[in-house]
C-alpha cells in the first residue's frame, strides 16, 4: 500500500485545476465504474460530512452495501473511503490506485490529487460491489470531481461564505456553484433557510422538473451540538424520500442508522487527567456561529482554546467570534505551509483585542494546553488541527 500512497502524495503539487474533462476521460477509459451503483451526492459549506455519515449509516443499517467517500481524512487516508462502514482495506486501495495509474497512462492525463482520490472511490466501490454510494463534495459542486455522477438524490447542507476565490464573492454565486450537483432525475433536499439561497437551488431543481424539498425538521442525533439535530433531520428526510427507490429502508433502520452514526472531530469529547477536551473542525464563520452556543452553554469556564487555521480562510470573523469566549488562547500551525503562521495569528488576535501564545508545532500546543491549569480545553479552527489533535489525544 505504501507505493499507492506515495503515488497519491506525489499528486499534491498539482494543485486545484477546475474542470471535469480529466475526470470524464479517465472514467471513460475505466469503463465508467461510477455508473455501477446508485449515488447520493452531498454538497454545502458546513454539516455535509456529518449529514453524509448519517445517510451512509442509515443505508448500512438498511442492508445496503454502501460506499462512503469523504474529505479530508483526520488521521489515516483510508478514512476517505469507507465500505460497509469501515475504512478501505489496504489491498483494495492498492489495486484501485494501480487501475487509476493505468487509466492515466492510457489517456495521457495526470489527475489532480482530489481527482485521483475521487476516481479511487469510484473504482473501489465498484470492485467491492457496493449497491449505493454516498459522495461528499470537496469544494463547490458544479466543477467538483465528484460531480460526474447522476445521483438519485442531491442533498445540500447550509451554505456560507467559503472558498470565495473559486466560488464567487456573494452567497448567490456560491449557492449557484453548489447547485451544480442538482441533476435531472434527482430528488433535491436542502436545510438552507436563506431566501436567496433557496431561490437559486429551487430554480435549478425546477429547470429539470425535480422534486424540491426544503427540510426544516430536526431529529435527535448522537453527535454533540444543537446544530447536529438539523443535519440529522436532513439525513432522515433524505432516507424517507429514498424509500421508493431503496425499499429496504425502514423506520427502524433509519433510527438505528442515526443512533450508530459516528463522526470524529466534530465536537468530539475527551477526558484526560481530569480535563475535559473538545475537538471540532470549525474552520469558517458559519461553522463557528453554529458551535458557539455549545461552547457557551456546555463548556465550563475558565476555557482554553488551541487554534490553527488555513491561510485561505476568512480568518478575522472567525477570531472575532471565537477568541473572546476563551480565557487563554494558544495558536498553532496544523498544516504548513498552507496554515496561517502563528506570527500572523498572534497579530490578528491582537487586533481583535485578544492575547494569544504561539506554539507552531501542534503537539507542543496540545502538550502545553494539557499542562496548563485549564480544566476546559477546546481545540478547533481546522479539520487538519482536529486530525492532529485526535492522533495526539488517542495516545495520551
Q: Which of 375, 371, 369, 367 is nearest to 275 (CA)?
A: 375
DSSP letters, 10-42, are HGGGG-----SHHHHHHHHHTT-GGGSSEEEEE
Q: How confident is the model at residue 396 (pLDDT cuts 50, 70, 90)?
A: confident
CA distance linking residue 93 with residue 95, whole number of Å: 5
| Integer Cα distance of 233 and 88 in angstroms | 28
- Alpha-carbon 236 to chain mean position: 18
Neighbours of 7 (CB within 10 A): 15
Domains defined for the chain, CATH in brackets? 2-259 (3.40.1190.10), 268-395 (3.90.190.20)
CA 28 to chain centre: 27
How confident is the prediction for the chain on average, in pLDDT? Answer: 95
pLDDT at residue 285, rounded to an integer: 87
Place of cell 433502520: 253
Task: Give the burial class of 27: count Cβ atoms within 10 A of its Cβ; 0-12 exposed, 13-18 middle, 19 or more buried.
Answer: buried
Looking at residue 249, the DSSP 8-state letter turns out to be: -
Radius of gyration for the chain, computed over Cα atoms and rounded to the nearest angstrom: 21
For residue 165, pLDDT over 80 is answered with no
DSSP 122: H
For residue 213, list its beta bridge partners: 189
State the pLDDT at residue 352. 85
Q: Has residue 57 got a pLDDT over 90?
A: yes
Q: Phi and psi of 10, rounded to 5°?
A: -65, -20
Provide the pLDDT confidence category of residue 67 given band limits of 50, 70 and 90: very high
18 pLDDT tier (thresholds 50, 70, 90) = confident
pLDDT at 160 over 90: no
Q: Confidence band (pLDDT; 50, 70, 90) for 163?
A: confident
pLDDT value of residue 356? 95
pLDDT in tens, 126-154: 999 999 999 999 989 999 999 999 999 99
Q: Is residue 169 very low, low, confident or very high in pLDDT (cuts 50, 70, 90)?
A: confident
Q: What is the DSSP letter of 89?
A: P
**Three-state SS at 381:** coil
Instruction: Tell me how far apart the alpha carbons of residues 156 and 205 are, in angstroms, rounded to a whole number.
Output: 12
Confidence of residue 336 (pLDDT cuts 50, 70, 90): confident
Question: In degrees rounded to 5, what are phi and psi of residue 176?
Answer: -65, -40
Question: How far apart are the C-alpha atoms of 96 and 67, rounded to whole Å?
Answer: 14
Q: What is the average pLDDT across 98-105?
A: 97
State percent of the chain over pLDDT 70.
Answer: 99
Per-residue pLDDT of 206-240, as tens digits, reads 999 999 999 999 999 999 888 899 999 999 999 99
Residue 324 has pLDDT above 90, yes or no: yes
**Is the pLDDT at 155 greater than 90, yes or no?**
yes
How does pLDDT run across 257-290, given as a tens digit for each residue? Answer: 999 999 999 999 999 999 999 999 988 888 898 8
DSSP secondary-structure letter at 111? -
CB atoms within 10 A of CB 281: 26
Q: Which three cell numbers stand for residue 54?
A: 448519517
Paired strand residues for 155: 42, 189
Q: What is the C-alpha to C-alpha distance for residues 189 and 231, in angstroms, rounded to an integer?
A: 12
Amino acid at each position: 500500500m505504501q507505493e499507492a500512497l506515495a503515488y497519491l502524495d506525489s499528486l499534491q503539487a498539482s494543485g486545484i485545476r477546475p474542470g471535469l474533462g480529466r475526470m470524464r476521460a479517465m472514467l471513460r477509459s475505466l469503463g465508467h465504474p461510477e455508473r455501477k451503483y446508485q449515488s447520493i451526492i452531498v454538497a454545502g459549506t458546513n454539516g455535509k460530512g456529518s449529514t453524509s455519515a448519517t445517510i451512509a449509516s442509515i443505508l448500512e443499517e438498511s442492508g445496503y452495501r454502501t460506499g462512503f467517500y469523504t474529505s479530508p481524512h483526520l488521521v489515516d487516508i483510508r478514512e476517505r473511503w469507507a465500505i460497509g462502514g469501515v475504512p478501505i482495506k489496504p489491498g483494495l486501495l492498492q489495486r484501485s490506485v494501480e487501475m487509476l495509474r493505468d487509466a492515466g497512462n492510457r489517456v495521457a492525463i495526470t489527475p489532480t490529487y482530489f481527482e485521483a482520490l475521487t476516481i479511487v472511490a469510484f473504482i473501489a466501490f465498484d470492485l467491492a460491489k457496493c449497491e449505493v454510494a454516498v459522495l461528499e463534495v470537496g469544494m463547490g459542486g458544479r466543477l467538483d470531481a465528484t460531480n460526474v455522477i447522476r445521483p438519485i438524490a442531491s442533498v445540500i447542507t447550509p451554505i456560507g461564505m467559503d472558498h470565495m476565490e473559486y466560488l464567487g464573492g456573494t452567497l448567490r454565486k456560491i449557492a449557484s456553484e453548489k447547485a451544480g450537483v442538482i441533476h435531472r432525475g434527482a430528488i433535491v433536499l436542502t436545510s438552507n433557510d436563506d431566501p436567496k439561497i433557496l431561490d437559486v437551488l429551487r430554480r435549478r431543481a425546477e429547470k429539470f422538473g425535480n422534486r424540491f424539498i426544503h427540510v426544516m425538521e430536526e431529529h435527535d442525533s448522537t453527535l454533540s451540538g444543537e446544530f447536529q439535530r438539523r443535519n440529522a433531520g436532513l439525513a432522515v428526510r433524505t432516507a424517507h424520500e429514498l424509500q421508493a427507490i431503496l425499499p429496504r429502508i425502514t423506520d427502524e433502520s433509519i433510527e438505528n442508522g442515526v443512533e450508530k452514526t459516528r463522526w470524529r472531530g466534530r465536537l468530539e469529547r475527551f477526558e484526560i487527567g481530569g480535563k475535559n477536551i473538545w475537538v471540532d473542525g470549525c474552520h469558517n464563520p458559519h461553522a463557528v456561529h453554529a458551535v458557539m452556543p455549545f461552547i457557551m452553554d456546555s463548556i465550563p469556564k475558565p476555557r482554553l482554546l488551541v487554534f490553527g487555521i488555513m491561510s485561505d480562510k476568512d480568518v478575522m470573523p472567525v477570531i472575532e467570534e471565537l477568541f473572546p469566549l476563551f480565557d487563554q488562547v494558544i495558536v498553532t500551525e496544523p498544516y504548513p505551509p498552507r496554515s496561517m503562521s502563528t506570527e500572523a495569528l498572534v497579530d490578528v488576535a491582537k487586533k481583535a483585542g485578544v492575547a494569544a501564545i504561539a506554539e507552531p508545532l501542534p503537539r507542543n500546543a496540545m502538550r502545553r494546553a494539557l499542562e496548563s491549569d485549564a480544566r476546559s480545553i477546546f481545540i478547533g479552527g481546522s479539520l487538519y488541527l482536529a486530525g492532529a489533535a485526535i492522533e495526539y489525544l488517542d495516545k495520551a
